[in-house]
A and B are shown apart, each in its own frame.
Chain A
Amino acid sequence: MMRAVLAIARKDLTLTLARGGGLVQALLLGLLLLFMFSLSQEVGERMSPQGAAAIFWLASAFCQVLIFNALYGLEEVHGARQGLALLPCPVQAVWIGKALAGLALLLLAQTLFVPATVIFLGQDMSGEWWWALAVLLLADLGMALLGSLLGALSQGQAAKESILSIVLFPLLAPLLLAGIRVGAGLFAGRTAEGVTQWIGVAAAFDALFAAAGLVLFAYIYPGEE
């Protein structure tokens, strides 16, 4: 199964990074969001750390949606989804492979969003960065696991699948909240209050999304059209 997981992740990264499929739009949308919010401030005004962190994670969340739509769209061009369904391994290999590729692309996008937040929203990163990095990695992992499920759902045409997407998307809220709270601490030059609890929350939701993905993916990504 791991060979299939790695093959899918590598293929998705090749098509997205080397062939430019889908990542540019996601990056532009995130950067545009950060820039647009910067226009809401007066010249020389500094946005609150909480607000800046919220905008950073909003940009990351929208970017994640576009990334996973693009990743799952790769299989729809010539019906490769059926080929993946016929692989001699559990179909969850597709979910994990795409989650890995999506996680790498999201981290790449955030390497641009972090300096953009500092520049456009007038922040500095004087807080304890290792806490923020730990929460960022955990939040990104959860977003990738859930995003991989949402991306699979977004390829379906049935109304019930659209409704499922609407139900699942708010589940990101605890991860975004953890990221915002700890990120605000970083931008404010202090350690966020209750940082270990937020790490616990993010890790718990990661585990929940991993379990949900393992159970649900086979139902929402069948080989049948």
Chain B
Amino acid sequence: MASALLELRGIAKFYGHRCVFRAVDLVVARGTVQLLTGANGAGKSTLMRLMAGLQRPNAGSCACHAAEGRVAYLGHATFLYPGLTALENLAFWKKAQGSRLTEADLMALLERVGLERHAHERAGIFSRGMAQRLNLARALLVAPELLLLDEPGTGLDSRAAVMLREEIVQARQRGAGIVWISHDVAADAPFADKVLTLEQGRLHEGGQGAATP
């Protein structure tokens, strides 16, 4: 069994008196992809933010065993500065995260997400899809051990969606543990080891994915 990167035990989250979810247990192992699904408002993004450390649970424990700085979170917000170019945005996050990547590495990363021709354009003029590609490049900056993806396909065209799935497969092959929120289960489940459904405040295992070891 691959070693655990993230362990959630008995997690509960309340907003006031409203229970978002409770008694959630989840282990994310190295080299696995867990697809998280559920209806709108089920609490998927809240659970993801708890995993990232952006929110605290009301009960339970959340233990992250990934190396410091090797956790990447791609949420609904793109974390981009509209006044900086695509390259400057990546350079800022690279420096702030203490990464040793060179400018050539950053350009290669932009090429991977199909933004090399827009490297010197300001992020403020990017479409939602382009901003999401740049957001993905930002998440990949640290060669993450734990990759938390909250609806990463938002705004992406079909080519970019294929590129996203390829990046997820490659990250899994490198040994990263991935939690991936998606509403397109039929399309994304083949790339996952496990499908989880958050429903009525409980996390159920919704079936085995089809990803090959």
Do A82 and B98 have beta carbons less than 8 Å apart?
no
Given known pairs A14-B88, A87-B97, A88-B97, the reply for A80 and B80 (CB within 8 Å) is yes
| B contact patch SS | loop
Task: Name the interface residues of B80-118: CB closer than 8 Å to any CB of A.
Answer: 80-84, 88, 92-93, 95-98
Do A11 and B92 have beta carbons less than 8 Å apart?
yes
Instruction: State how many residues of chain A have any CB contact under 8 Å with chain B.
Output: 26
Name 11 A/B residue pairs within 8 A (Cβ), A-sorted.
A7-B96, A11-B81, A78-B77, A78-B78, A79-B76, A80-B77, A80-B80, A82-B54, A82-B77, A85-B53, A224-B55
User: In whole angstroms, what is the CA distance A160 to B202 when docked?
Assistant: 34
Do A79 and B69 have beta carbons less than 8 Å apart?
no
Task: Name the interface residues of A61-114: CB closer than 8 Å to any CB of B.
Answer: 74, 77-80, 82-89
User: In whole angstroms, what is the CA distance A67 to B23 when docked?
Assistant: 46
Do A14 and B96 have beta carbons less than 8 Å apart?
no
Task: Name the interface residues of A3-50: CB closer than 8 Å to any CB of B.
Answer: 3-4, 6-8, 10-11, 14-15, 19, 21
User: In whole angstroms, what is the CA distance A86 to B138 when docked?
Assistant: 13
B14 interface hit (Cβ, 8 Å): no
Instruction: State how many residues of chain B have any CB contact under 8 Å with chain A.
Output: 28
A223 interface hit (Cβ, 8 Å): yes
Q: Which residues of A contact B (CB under 8 A)?
A: 3-4, 6-8, 10-11, 14-15, 19, 21, 74, 77-80, 82-89, 223-224
